[in-house]
Structure 1
Amino acid sequence: MIAKEELLLLKTKILPQGADTVLDFLASRNQQVERTHIVLENVPLLIIGRHGMIARIPVSGSVHKVSKPDEILHQLRSFFSRQETLYLFVNLPDLPVPTEVTELLKEVQDRDAQKEALRQEIDNALSIRDKDAFIRATNALNQLLGERRISNSPSRRFSV
């Protein structure tokens, strides 16, 4: 069984045409869906890839292969009425992250690393009772925290 949330999370990836409705349908039948990381033979299988989908569904002793979203939904409706397990193989790329977002995340990570280093420096200064080092590190941390408050202000955040 696959979690409904895991199926719906797939909608954040680059989907082929019609896959969103198929994923919604599968989410309502998630008790009968099992995710696989290899393409299995001789089992009911739905493959979702970047450029399309293909379903191999057993019907009356033979396997029907369908690839159009409406045909897949039709086959899945009749398949799930039999209370069998459908295997799902997904090969979808993640949505590309814009470089601006990547740069912003790196800035936040760097700033967080600086804050952690300054906190460690403050702890060390306290443990060895070095007042000057404590004051320097505390001032640097306060300055860094003050810059964050300024950069979060609406005027800078939404400026072009």
Structure 2
Amino acid sequence: MVTKEDILLLKTKILPSGADMVLDFLLNRLHQVELTQIVMENVPLLIIGRHGMIARIPMNGGMRKASQPAEIIELLQHFFQRQETLYLFINLPDLPMPVEVTQVLQEVQARAARKEELRRIIDQALDEGNRELFYEAAREWKELSSYDSDDRDR
């Protein structure tokens, strides 16, 4: 069974035209949908790729194919009446992260790591009674925390 989170995660990717309608339709039938890592033959299959979709659904003793969203939904409506499992194959590339976003993420991670280190230093300074070390670490902690609140205000 595919989970609702899996389908919602798919909706954050760049989908082909009409795929969001098909995914919304599948959300109501999660117990009949199974994700697959391979394209299988002779099974009810929906393939969603970057440039389109194709459904291969058994109907009237043969396999019927559809690639237009409206046709796919019509096929799936008939298919799901039989309480069978539909296999879903997803071939969508991950979205590339812009360099600027990657840099910001690295800066945030570095600040978070430094704050965690400062937390340990503050605890150590308190344990040892080292006022200078405590005040220095607390000042830097406050400075780093102000970056975080500035980021949230934007």
Interval of TM-score (by shorter of Structure 1 and Structure 2): 0.7 to 0.9
Deviation at 1:136, TM superposition (A): 2.1
Cα deviation per residue 1:80-114 (whole Å; 9 max; x = unaligned)? 11111111111112334333333222221111111
Structure 2 counterpart of 1:72, which letter?
Answer: I
- Normalised to the residue count of structure 2, the TM-score between the two structures is 0.86
Q: Which residue of 2 aligns with 1:48?
A: 48
Number of residue pairs aligned between Structure 1 and Structure 2: 154
The verdict on how the C-alpha distance between 1:85 and 1:148 changes in structure 2, with shifts beyond 3 A counting, is closer
The verdict on how the C-alpha distance between 1:88 and 1:107 changes in structure 2, with shifts beyond 3 A counting, is same
Structure 1: how far apart are the matches of 2:112 and 2:27? 38
Instruction: Specify every segment of 5 or more residues in structure 1 that has no aligned partner in the other structure, as ranges.
Output: none
SS at match of 1:12: coil
Q: Which residue of 1 aligns with 2:30?
A: 30
Q: Which residue of 2 aligns with 1:39?
A: 39
Cα deviation per residue 1:102-139 (whole Å; 9 max; x = unaligned)? 32222211111111111111222233343332232222
Structure 1 counterpart of 2:45, which letter?
Answer: L
Contact residue 47 and residue 54 of structure 1 kept, 8 A? yes
The verdict on how the C-alpha distance between 1:98 and 1:127 changes in structure 2, with shifts beyond 3 A counting, is same
Structure 2: how far apart are the matches of 1:27 and 1:61? 27
| Percent identity (aligned) | 58
Please say which of residues 46-55 and 89-98 is displaced more in the overlay.
89-98
The verdict on how the C-alpha distance between 1:137 and 1:78 changes in structure 2, with shifts beyond 3 A counting, is same
Please say which of residues 85-94 and 99-108 is displaced more in the overlay.
99-108
Q: Which residue of 1 aligns with 2:98?
A: 98
Structure 2 counterpart of 1:86, which letter?
Answer: L
Please tell me whether residue 2 in structure 1 is matched to residue 6 in structure 2. Answer: no
Structure 1: how far apart are the matches of 2:106 and 2:129? 34
The verdict on how the C-alpha distance between 1:145 and 1:69 changes in structure 2, with shifts beyond 3 A counting, is closer
Please say which of residues 134-143 and 24-33 is displaced more in the overlay.
134-143
Structure 2: how far apart are the matches of 1:146 and 1:61? 67
Q: Alpha carbon RMSD of aligned pairs, Å?
A: 2.0
Structure 2: how far apart are the matches of 1:148 and 1:85? 47
Equivalences for residues 1-160 of structure 1 within 5 A:
1-149=1-149, 151-152=150-151, 154=153, 157=154
SS at match of 1:97: coil
Cα deviation per residue 1:24-62 (whole Å; 9 max; x = unaligned)? 111122221111111122211111111111111111221
